[in-house]
Amino acid sequence: MKIVIAGCGKIGTTVIESLLAEGHNVIAVDDSNLVLQDVTNMYDVMCVCGNAADYNTLTEAGTQKADMFVAVTGSDELNMLSCLIAKRLGAKYTVARIRNPEYNGQGFVFIKDQIDLSLAINPELYAARELFNILKLPSALNIETFARGNFEMVEIRLKEKSPIDGMSLIDVRKKYPGKYLVCVVQRGEEVFIPDGQFVLKSGDKIGLTATPTEIQKLLKKLGILQKQARNVMILGASRTAFYLSKMLLKSGNEVKIIDIDREKCVQICDTLPGAVVIAGDGAEQELLLEEGIKSMDAFVSLTGMDEENILVSLFANSQGVPKVISKVNRKELSAMAEKLGLECIISPKRIISDVVLSYARALQNTVGSQVETLYKLMDGKVEALEFIVKDDFQHAGVAIKDMRFKPNILIAGIVTGRRAVIPSGDDTFKVGDRVIVIAADQHPDDLTDIIDQ
């Protein structure tokens, strides 16, 4: 597809990288020559310098013939305006990054309809939802939800002396029976779609799929189920902090927010009266100790600086905080942070890249199914996809054991209505079912893509 990306900041470049990896024809638009020079140095794309809401700039970028136009500049208003112009020029689908909480209320439905916007994405809101899910189940490194929350994929790290260290998956299922599936394992830089003979080792990062209830049952049996984080300290009065705090307060949690910017503190204090807001430098260890970091169930670092998030999170780790989460956008710093012992890291730009990629794949589908959800797992080496089976899928009603799948493909779950099933060979795909697929070294757009014809 021909896709125009307006705005080449952190999120824009990540989206560009993901789309190029799938063979799309990408044109980048930005009002900074220096930014575009960096983009052309890293990626093989055509660039146009100019205002993303300027008719001539968008025409030069070929927006009138674009299959998709994605506006991810730093301004919500510019993104919405550029999407409106792009749509009027002839772009088939438009996607805008819209971050301001004021634009995410009921009135936004009216705005979205008026500008004929195909999809609105809010990186901070998506990140907050992911953080909230993790804080509900602190034993997890990452949680991805499917079928509107009826099915989950949870990543956990096997610690030393884990009861399943050295056990094959067949033996794990015998000792810990339940409706779950170990569907992917990362060991160092290698990723495996395991079979029953696969032997787990301490240090492995494993992906489990099941219903939320079954996940909790298994983690409890393994002795690694941590209680929900009730007292949460957040560093940085960012938009993500606002959304996350709002969710936590609604669930009855205690929230303490620390930020060095007094004006931000006043704003968030006015909008979140239930939160305790401290104006101070969260990088100062004495302040964190005074504010009771040692008594917290969780610490979440959400400043705008990856380096600060990593360093302060390491301090929180050293103080024995049970759950420490750090926002790190730069891939190289994420890898370094993991080596230093920070296991739970989120990246808003990665989350939004997954959303845009999922939408692009859905637009390409013509028969058989449609992509509902897409997640990059295990440092981006594996994809977890949710497909909805359509009535023209040729293999509907065929038993899984009678279908031949391509290498490194695993059917991780089937959701019929609200009933989630860990599939066996006798199960089938029925029209309307949601099918969760794990794919390594594959990029399926459609359910038919996973079948070896």
| Architecture in CATH of 127-221 | 2-Layer Sandwich (3.30)
Distance of alpha carbon 254 from alpha carbon 143, whole angstroms: 22
Distance of alpha carbon 126 from alpha carbon 119, whole angstroms: 14
Q: What is the mean pLDDT of residues 397-421?
A: 90
What tokens does 241 get? 């902090």
The residues, any chain, with a CB within 8 Å of residue 315's CB and separated by 6 or more, are 285, 288
Tens-digit pLDDT profile for residues 95-108:
999 988 777 666 67
- Domain boundaries for CATH 3.40.50.720 within the chain: 2-121, 231-346
Tens-digit pLDDT profile for residues 325-340:
999 988 889 888 988 8
Tens-digit pLDDT profile for residues 31-58:
999 999 999 999 999 999 999 999 999 9
Nearest Cα neighbor of 230 from 250, 248, 205, 253 is 253
The residues, any chain, with a CB within 8 Å of residue 128's CB and separated by 6 or more, are 240, 243, 244, 246, 247
Predicted model pTM? 0.86
Q: What is the identity of the amino acid at 248?
A: L
Q: Which superfamily does CATH assign the domain made up of 351-450 to?
A: Regulator of K+ conductance, C-terminal domain (3.30.70.1450)
pLDDT (0 to 100) of residue 115: 87
pLDDT higher for 107 or 387? 387
pLDDT (0 to 100) of residue 444: 82
- When pLDDT is cut at 50, 70 and 90, the band that residue 148 belongs to is confident
Q: What is the mean pLDDT of residues 373-395?
A: 86
What tokens does 261 get? 């910017």
Distance of alpha carbon 369 from alpha carbon 356, whole angstroms: 18
Distance of alpha carbon 450 from alpha carbon 254, whole angstroms: 45
243 within 8 A of 165, measured Cβ to Cβ: no
317, with CB counted inside 10 A (0-12, 13-18, 19+), is middle
Q: What is the identity of the amino acid at 411?
A: I
Q: Which residue has the tokens 């959303």?
A: 355
Q: What is the mean pLDDT of residues 210-220?
A: 92
Q: 304: helix, coil or strand?
A: coil
- Domain boundaries for CATH 3.30.70.1450 within the chain: 127-221, 351-450
Distance of alpha carbon 141 from alpha carbon 201, whole angstroms: 17
Tens-digit pLDDT profile for residues 234-267:
999 999 999 999 999 999 999 999 999 999 999 9
Q: What is the identity of the amino acid at 273?
A: P
What tokens does 407 get? 């290498």
| Architecture in CATH of 2-121 | 3-Layer(aba) Sandwich (3.40)
- The CATH code that applies to domain 231-346 is 3.40.50.720
Nearest Cα neighbor of 30 from 10, 55, 5, 11 is 5
244 within 8 A of 131, measured Cβ to Cβ: yes
Q: How many helices (H) and strands (E) does the chain have?
A: 14, 22
Distance of alpha carbon 194 from alpha carbon 450, whole angstroms: 17
